[in-house]
């Protein structure tokens, strides 16, 4: 059908070509916007993996660090009296840090979310608190580092310890965990709560048996994603005084001891003048990114496994 038919209905005629062109241009812009991010990420990853090639060995994961770049070179491993060098204490430090942070956030974050969502009356004060939790999620991490330094290291006398680091990271991710847990709780349909109350369940029984099981996948996903952000944070643990040259992993039985962590170690190596350390830092980054990706994959798996609606 074309414009020269006498029908009253205009099927678009020449204008349609122009509209289609606009459509294509817009689509192109959107695709390239998406591409910029993806290409940059791939380039970064490729560069880091290339830099670390040959430096990332099993020994790198299982030995303490060294001041001398040569100790990291796999060809030299055999000649060293001190043994190979690696980032073992920092890896263990980061894992301990994350485990402790996970425990603290689980109780504080989920507890706060349950209170705000299920118990708190809808008053101006509650809304004020909720608005401020959202604001806190945007505070730069170095500010949390300063807070941790003042509150835990100084006031509570924890020293530059694992526990101070974990508490600081907890503060950092708590707002995000609270908000995402609240969203998961809110997504549980009210009809479920009513069904439970209707059969004579108490409030706590309803929350424990109906609301939480429904919300847990969402809550877990939120916590894991927040933890994967926390594990890469350098500023807060720098502020509370994570050590750079720890030769033994931190001792969980005395959580007030000194500790090192991966981002701290990488930061230290990257600021060394010796060019060889750039490769060592790259190897550290690959280890960190692998852990991050594994955590994110776990979050996705949990979400897919429990999301019936999907």
Partner 1 sequence: MSDETSDRRTGLRSTLASVGSERGRFAIGNLLSTNTETTGMTANSGSEAAETTAAERTTDVGADSGAEMSAADRPLGSPQVDNAIIESRDLDVFYGDTQALQGINMDIPEKQVTALIGPSGCGKSTFLRSINRMNDLIDVARVEGELHFHGKNIYDEDVDPVALRRKIGMVFQKPNPFPKSIFDNVAYGLRVQGKDDDIEEQVYTALERAALLDEVEDQLDESGLDLSGGQQQRLCIARAIATDPEVILMDEPASALDPVATSKIEDLVEELAQEYTVAIVTHNMQQAARISDKTAVFLTGGNLVEFDDTNRIFENPESDRVEDYITGKFG
Question: Taking CB under 8 A as the rule, does residue 304 contact partner 1?
Answer: no
A 10 A CB-CB count for 262 gives 26
The contacts of residue 151 (CB under 8 Å, 6+ apart) are none
Nearest residue to 276 via CA among 126, 86, 127, 55: 55
Nearer to partner 1, 132 or 209 (CB): 209
Q: Are 220 and 299 in contact (CB under 8 A)?
A: yes
Question: Taking CB under 8 A as the rule, does residue 2 contact partner 1?
Answer: no
CA–CA dist 237, 257 (Å, integer): 14
Give the C-alpha distances (Å, rounded to integers) separating 134 from 10, 124, 147, 300.
Answer: 51, 15, 18, 24
x/- site string to partner 1, residues 171 to 210, per CB under 8 A? Answer: ------------------x-xxxxxxxxxxxx--x---xx
Nearer to partner 1, 19 or 305 (CB): 305
CA–CA dist 12, 39 (Å, integer): 38
Question: Taking CB under 8 A as the rule, does residue 117 contact partner 1?
Answer: no
Instruction: State the nearest-atom distance from the C-beta of 106 to partner 1, in Å.
Output: 23
Q: How many residues bind partner 1 (CB under 8 A)?
A: 20
Question: Taking CB under 8 A as the rule, does residue 212 contact partner 1?
Answer: no
Question: Taking CB under 8 A as the rule, does residue 124 contact partner 1?
Answer: no
Instruction: State the nearest-atom distance from the C-beta of 193 to partner 1, in Å.
Output: 7
The contacts of residue 263 (CB under 8 Å, 6+ apart) are 94, 231, 232, 233, 234, 237, 288
Question: Taking CB under 8 A as the rule, does residue 270 contact partner 1?
Answer: no
The one-character DSSP state at 79 is G
Instruction: State the nearest-atom distance from the C-beta of 215 to partner 1, in Å.
Output: 12
Instruction: State the nearest-atom distance from the C-beta of 225 to partner 1, in Å.
Output: 24
CA 278 to chain CA mean position, Å: 24
Nearer to partner 1, 67 or 308 (CB): 308
Q: From the list 51, 117, 118, 214, which residue makes contact with partner 1 (rule: CB under 8 A)?
A: 214
Instruction: State the nearest-atom distance from the C-beta of 125 to partner 1, in Å.
Output: 15
Nearer to partner 1, 62 or 205 (CB): 205
Give the C-alpha distances (Å, rounded to integers) separating 144 from 23, 165, 235.
Answer: 46, 11, 9
Instruction: State the nearest-atom distance from the C-beta of 205 to partner 1, in Å.
Output: 5
- Buried residues in 33-64 as b, exposed as e (16+ CB within 10 A): eeeeeeeeeeeeeeebeebbeebbbeebeebb
Nearer to partner 1, 14 or 191 (CB): 191
CA–CA dist 282, 266 (Å, integer): 8
Nearer to partner 1, 126 or 272 (CB): 126
Nearer to partner 1, 71 or 193 (CB): 193
Nearer to partner 1, 2 or 199 (CB): 199
Instruction: State the nearest-atom distance from the C-beta of 115 to partner 1, in Å.
Output: 16
Question: Taking CB under 8 A as the rule, does residue 37 contact partner 1?
Answer: no
- Buried residues in 208-217 as b, exposed as e (16+ CB within 10 A): eebbbebbeb
Nearer to partner 1, 157 or 209 (CB): 209
CA–CA dist 200, 206 (Å, integer): 9
Which residues contact partner 1 by CB under 8 A?
121-122, 189, 191-202, 205, 209-210, 214, 308
């Amino acid at each position: 059908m074309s414009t020269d038919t006498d029908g009253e209905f205009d099927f678009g005629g020449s204008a349609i070509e122009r509209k289609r062109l606009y459509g294509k241009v817009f689509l192109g812009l959107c695709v390239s916007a998406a591409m910029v991010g993806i290409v940059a990420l791939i380039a970064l990853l490729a560069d880091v993996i290339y830099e670390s090639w040959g430096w990332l060995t099993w020994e790198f994961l299982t030995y303490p660090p060294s001041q001398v770049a040569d100790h990291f070179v796999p060809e030299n491993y055999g000649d060293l009296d001190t043994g190979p060098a690696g980032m073992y204490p920092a890896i263990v430090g980061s894992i301990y840090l994350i485990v402790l942070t996970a425990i603290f956030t689980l109780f504080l974050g989920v507890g706060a979310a349950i209170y705000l969502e299920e118990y708190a009356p809808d008053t101006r004060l509650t809304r004020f608190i909720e608005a401020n939790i959202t604001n806190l999620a945007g505070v730069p991490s170095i500010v949390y580092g300063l807070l941790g330094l003042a509150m835990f290291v100084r006031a509570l006398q924890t020293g530059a310890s694992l526990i101070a680091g974990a508490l600081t990271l907890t503060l950092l991710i708590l707002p995000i965990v609270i908000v995402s847990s609240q969203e998961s709780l809110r997504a549980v349909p009210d009809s479920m709560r009513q069904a439970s109350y209707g059969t004579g369940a108490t409030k706590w029984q309803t929350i424990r048996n109906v609301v939480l099981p429904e919300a847990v996948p969402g809550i877990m996903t939120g916590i894991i994603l927040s933890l994967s952000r926390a594990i890469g944070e350098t500023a807060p643990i720098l502020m509370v005084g994570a050590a750079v040259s720890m030769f033994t992993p931190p001792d969980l039985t005395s959580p007030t001891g000194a500790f090192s962590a991966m981002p701290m170690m990488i930061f230290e190596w990257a600021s060394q003048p010796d060019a060889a350390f750039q490769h060592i830092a790259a190897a550290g980054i690959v280890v960190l990114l692998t852990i991050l990706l594994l955590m994110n994959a776990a979050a996705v798996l949990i979400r897919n496994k429990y999301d019936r609606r999907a």
